Structure 1
Amino acid sequence: MRTSIATVSLSGSLTEKLTAAARAGFDGVEIFENDLLASPLTPEEVRARCADLGLTIDLYQPMRDIEAVPADEFARNLRRARAKFAVMNRLGADTVLVCSSVSPLAVDDDALAAGQLARLADLAQDFGVRVAYEALAWGRHVSTYDHAWRIVETAGHPALGTCLDSFHILSRGSDPKAIGDIPGEKIFFLQLADAPLPAMDVLQWSRHHRRFPGQGGFDVAGLLRHVLRAGYDGPLSLEVFNDVFRQAEAGPTAVDARRSLLVLQEEVGLGALPPPVVPTGVAFAELVTPDAEPVTSLLGALGFARTARHRSKPVDLWERGEARVLVNTGPATLPHARRGPGGGTAADGTRLAAVGLESPDPAGAARRAEALLTPVLPRRRADGDAPLDAVSAPDGTELFLCATNRPQLPDWRADFTDLPGIAAARDGVRIDHLSLTQPWHHFDEAVLFHRAVLGLDAQESVDVADPYGLLRSRAVSTADGAVRIPLTVGAAPGDDTAHARHIALGTPDVVAAARRFTEAGGRLLPIPANYYDDLAARYEFTDAELATYRELGILYDRDAHGVFRHCYTRTVGRVFIELVQRDGGYQGYGAANAPVRLAAQHTAR
């Protein structure tokens, strides 16, 4: 019997996955859509590559949220499907996987689902494509294989069959005996996987993935209130089983644990901490580098001007609009060495080492940090230097508590001497967000730190596909978005070393900003053409608009609030710049585009 493997099961670029499958002796592959979208190869080139390797393309997957939806939504789905089928023809794939819908628009109507799947199969048949319908274990209305088969049988279309997946069947405890009642010719595809038994889930969760209060999603404070109202007056004791904590240093972990209890007691009214002082903006981002030329060339092409020089340290201030970047070329130090502003650089190349946060009360923010076991860092000050306090985040990033042009408060800007005759453009550019890659064993600690010490709100954690695995990301921000910091970590020790940090610059017109950058000699990250083919299938653009996005490598996303357009510079050392345009109150960070960006950066490296 022939063998096949889904490209999503393997790490690396699509080319690397195909080569690995062929070398292992597989006869064919399932092409996972994200792998194609992130590949610089055209569908025709992927088809030729598979042929050269002796691989057939047995399935293209997945197509989601198609059936049992309102007529206008289904019309959009057919438009999307037509584009997918055209891509499949270019690939030479003749079977597509359609997952049972998880869309909130889907209704519990088997007749409607069967009718719409039959119409989808009609369209597929015009392209020489078959549709394999699969029940996701978490499908909104269709979650078992026998239910999916009843819908396929009702539809009665020759180009519509079912896909059987061992995980989705066995994870729900379904009896596979009834598979024998399905005609063999209507089983269009079989996917096999194993997994721990369901009885192990909570046990594994308990023994390996517990976290300290405030780092997860449980309402620990609500529980504690009930306990206290019952009259409990004993100790608050932590019992946390966590593989990460067991591999990290005991000292920092104990500090993190104690901090979590201090915050928990604050939430329930036990004990008093200095109140949180929420930052109001980003004063500056500091890049440290052993070689200023690549950094200053990048900033210059982005329209920044070198406006000032530190009075006593090799640090230059670059400005554009409201965005400020410090470029530090001091003597090399260890990456996480404690230092004062301008105190040194890392030997491993350019990196984002410090952030200045605008604070309405820097002294109060420092008191809050110290009460939560985050001491103010020692700083070497020259005569006349501003008394600027900084604390160290768990990953070693220095966070300076700043006041810029604020009466009666020390101004860090006073440490710099203006360069004569140079003025920065005042055009609305600002620092939109700062993406900080975290060491794998500090991720949960970092979330709690930014929430508790800085008073930022934490959003839900998301997983982002990378060519070599998954990245976990969780953003912290102020309520008004004045400070946004996505925190990202790899899935295992060492994963963080491959991923650069970046500064996102907000601009009112990302297309104009990208053009100015390229005209000034800057290089934007190229994005595969497959991404734009898919974008055109998902959204409607004018030909000129889509051509502009292709030309400049601009990515596109939208949420319930608005639209997000963004593009990326090439990486310098371990830093790159993102240009972003938020319209209509868009809240996110373009996470849907992250797999394509990460793959493009991998290709560029």
Structure 2
Amino acid sequence: MRTSVATVCLSGGLVEKLHACASAGFDGVEIMDADLVGAYESPEEIRTLCERLGLTIDMFQPFRDVEGVDEQTFTDNLRRADAKFDVMERLGTDLMLLCSNAGTATIDDDDLAAEQLGRLADLAAARGIRIAYEALAWGRYVDDYRRAWRIVEKADRPNLGVCLDSFHILSRGHDPAAIETIPGEKIFFLQLADAPALDMDVLQWSRHHRLFPGEGDFDLTGFLGHVLRAGYTGPLSLEVFNDTFRQTAVFRTAAHARRSLTWLADRTEDAGRAPHAERLIAPQHAHGIDFVEVSGDDLHDLDQLLDRLGFAFRGRHRSKPVRLWTAGSARIILNEQLRLESPRLTAFGLIVDDAAAASERAAALGADPVYRRTYRGEVELRAVASPDGTEVYWNDDDPDASWVPEFEGGDTDAAFHGDVDHINVSYAWQDFDEAVLFMRSVVALDAEPVAEVPGPRGLVRSQVMRSPDRVVRLPMNLAPPTAPVPHRHVAVRVDDVVAVARAAREKGLDFLPVPDNYYDDLQARFALDAALLETLQGLDLLYDRDEHGEFIHFYTPTFGGVFLELVERRGEYDGYGAPNAPVRLSAQRQVSTWTDAKGPGAEGSSS
């Protein structure tokens, strides 16, 4: 599988972009005209650099607004094209991307378009240059790849073919099946981009919201299958216009982009459509949460919190400043060796069938391995770092028989049996899309549809990643760019959350306070039994219900950037209490305001 990427996908200058592409393992690049125009290096110097880096220049792009014009305008277009052919010869590339006319076309006539493209192709042929014609989704007259192909057929030049772009085809809702009617040798180039399902102007959608494969809602596996069955043998190339990627670190974004193509090619081969793709080890689907880890410089407040909730203190690690608390299969590690100033959720472990296979697949996808010092007799768990540094561990053994005995001096008697229901993680705006791809490709979780939750500082975007059996659930939150990154939390599922709440209250634990207005609204929505409503309000419990069951939960105070949630699912309720999220976000912000007003040392730390 040959891979390529358009330089427009990345931040920085052209030379820096080329170094990043080579470092990420791409075979080639599409040189964006604007990147070359803004570079101080000559086309010859760029050509030499690519040769030294082992990169082919697969295409020069874009050339615009050629066909469907009057003769005088077209004559000037040929002059423009001839000048760009000079540049291409200096670069050492023989393929130009020609976009369908979106600005100057005045004549809607396929015969004229074919005649003009044929004349352009003849001019290019004298230079040994090929033209790949692409139907822009916002083209003035040609906005459908099927029409673009008909025009290319009419023109009938050996050096004139089509460029297929997944965004331009799928954003318009065009059926990609007809791609298989195009001869493979006439598909000169393939550009790939994913995107979220949005209802907006297609040009703005394209310019600002394209994503790398695996991060959006397009069926790129099916799309790529059609292209390959048509006989296409060229590179798989990425063309992603995205405000985030053009601002983030170029080497990291290039590696992120390369991972997306590896994942897509592997999925396409799984569907029997890409026999030339490099194979990955089959994904290891997690069937349990091994542990969740919170790190910080001083975590004694969290020790007290877990004790009041009813967790059992299982002891201190025999060789590290790390403590373990458990309740059933819910295992929470408090790690003070990282010496973080503020507590935060830094790692979680997954139980899989083959940890070595999970680690090998992660390495093939470019994930960075994590090293932690272990001593003789201690279990060394395999791990990688996610884009923001959160560590993901794999274990294929029983935790109570493998690493848990390394903790000494505690007991096993928790006040209740619990399981980790979900781990709610949050990301800064520049990390979110990359994290979605990481969790989908490396951790082998499936993505549920995106939801938006109103908060006191704007809409919070939420996307749940989960294992196929829904045992592992990972809600991922993204706050507005100007808002702080949302706190992370661990949700522990229990059989009787009211009993757990009462016992914790008796031990002196205060929960996140819920306003009385919430309970007035709750009664209006659900007409709850008076006794149940009184219980909920008295304990600061939140409630939700749907046609499948009920959900009762409460939140602890926030410590640094982390808090806990205790939940009870009744019946077949499968959600996360989404209607209650705005109340929680508002309450946490209010408590933070109170705490800041009290000054350092106030209860609950900085929530």
Normalized against structure 1, the TM-score is what? 0.62
Q: Which residue of 2 aligns with 1:459?
A: 448
> Matched residues in 1 for 2:478 and 2:570: separation?
28
Shift of 1:446: 0.9
Q: Which amino acid letter does the alignment assign opposite residue 336 of structure 2?
A: T
Instruction: Tell me the SS of whatever aligns to 1:448.
Output: helix
Q: Which residue of 2 aligns with 1:491?
A: 480
Q: How does 1:65-144 map to 2 (within 5 A)?
A: none
Does the CA contact (< 8 Å) of 1:489 and 1:495 recur in 2?
no
Does the CA contact (< 8 Å) of 1:451 and 1:457 recur in 2?
yes
Distance 1:200 1:365, change over 3 A: closer
> Matched residues in 2 for 1:254 and 1:580: separation?
40
Q: Which residue of 1 aligns with 2:513?
A: 526
Q: Which residue of 2 aligns with 1:120?
A: none
Does the CA contact (< 8 Å) of 2:545 and 2:551 recur in 1?
yes
Q: Which residue of 1 aligns with 2:290?
A: 283
Q: Which amino acid letter does the alignment assign opposite residue 358 of structure 2?
A: A
Instruction: Tell me the SS of whatever aligns to 1:354.
Output: strand
Q: Which residue of 2 aligns with 1:424?
A: 413
Q: Which residue of 1 aligns with 2:536?
A: 549
Shift of 1:404: 4.3
Q: Which residue of 1 aligns with 2:148?
A: none
Does the CA contact (< 8 Å) of 1:305 and 1:320 recur in 2?
yes
> Matched residues in 2 for 1:429 and 1:555: separation?
19
> Matched residues in 2 for 1:292 and 1:531: separation?
32
Distance 1:199 1:217, change over 3 A: closer
Distance 1:435 1:199, change over 3 A: closer
Q: How does 1:45-84 map to 2 (within 5 A)?
A: none
Q: How does 1:219-258 map to 2 (within 5 A)?
A: 219-258=219-258
Instruction: Tell me the SS of whatever aligns to 2:490.
Output: strand
Does the CA contact (< 8 Å) of 1:403 and 1:412 recur in 2?
no
> Matched residues in 2 for 1:223 and 1:479: separation?
23
Q: Which residue of 1 aligns with 2:314?
A: 307
Residue 274 (structure 1) aligned with residue 281 (structure 2): yes
1:376 to 351, 369, 372: 369
> Matched residues in 1 for 2:293 and 2:399: separation?
21
Instruction: Tell me the SS of whatever aligns to 2:517.
Output: helix
Shift of 1:558: 2.2
Q: Which residue of 2 aligns with 1:562?
A: 549
Instruction: Tell me the SS of whatever aligns to 2:544.
Output: strand
> Matched residues in 1 for 2:415 and 2:542: separation?
26
> Matched residues in 2 for 1:444 and 1:325: separation?
27
Shift of 1:428: 2.6
> Matched residues in 1 for 2:312 and 2:532: separation?
31
> Matched residues in 1 for 2:320 and 2:215: separation?
39
Q: How does 1:389-404 map to 2 (within 5 A)?
A: 389-404=382-397
1:321 to 321, 328, 336: 328
Residue 413 (structure 1) aligned with residue 404 (structure 2): yes
Q: Which amino acid letter does the alignment assign opposite residue 383 of structure 1?
A: R
Shift of 1:540: 2.1
> Matched residues in 1 for 2:518 and 2:572: separation?
24
Distance 1:303 1:446, change over 3 A: same
> Matched residues in 1 for 2:354 and 2:455: separation?
40
> Matched residues in 2 for 1:200 and 1:500: separation?
31
Shift of 1:417: 3.6
Instruction: Tell me the SS of whatever aligns to 2:423.
Output: strand
Shift of 1:547: 0.9
Does the CA contact (< 8 Å) of 2:416 and 2:500 recur in 1?
no
Shift of 1:521: 0.9
Instruction: Give the fraction of aligned pairs with identical amino acids, expressed as a percent.
Output: 47
Does the CA contact (< 8 Å) of 2:352 and 2:396 recur in 1?
yes
Q: Which amino acid letter does the alignment assign opposite residue 413 of structure 1?
A: V
Shift of 1:435: 0.5
> Matched residues in 1 for 2:200 and 2:288: separation?
45
Q: Which residue of 1 aligns with 2:584?
A: 597
Aligned length: 388
1:405-427: CA deviations, max 9, x gaps? 279xx92224x14326x223273
Unpaired runs of at least 5, structure 2 = 1-197, 270-276, 593-607
Instruction: Tell me the SS of whatever aligns to 2:350.
Output: strand
Instruction: Tell me the SS of whatever aligns to 2:294.
Output: strand
Distance 1:267 1:423, change over 3 A: closer
Does the CA contact (< 8 Å) of 1:358 and 1:401 recur in 2?
yes
Does the CA contact (< 8 Å) of 2:308 and 2:507 recur in 1?
yes
Instruction: Tell me the SS of whatever aligns to 2:470.
Output: coil
Residue 263 (structure 1) aligned with residue 258 (structure 2): no
Unpaired runs of at least 5, structure 1 = 1-197, 331-343
Instruction: Tell me the SS of whatever aligns to 2:369.
Output: coil
1:468 to 449, 457, 461: 457
Instruction: Tell me the SS of whatever aligns to 1:297.
Output: helix
Worse overlay, 574-583 or 264-273: 264-273
> Matched residues in 1 for 2:256 and 2:307: separation?
41
> Matched residues in 2 for 1:580 and 1:501: separation?
16
1:521-555: CA deviations, max 9, x gaps? 11111111111111111112111101111111111
1:477 to 455, 463, 466: 466
1:381-401: CA deviations, max 9, x gaps? 223221211111112111111
Does the CA contact (< 8 Å) of 1:500 and 1:576 recur in 2?
yes
Q: Which amino acid letter does the alignment assign opposite residue 441 of structure 2?
A: A
Residue 446 (structure 1) aligned with residue 435 (structure 2): yes
Does the CA contact (< 8 Å) of 1:440 and 1:495 recur in 2?
no
Shift of 1:199: 11
Distance 1:230 1:403, change over 3 A: closer
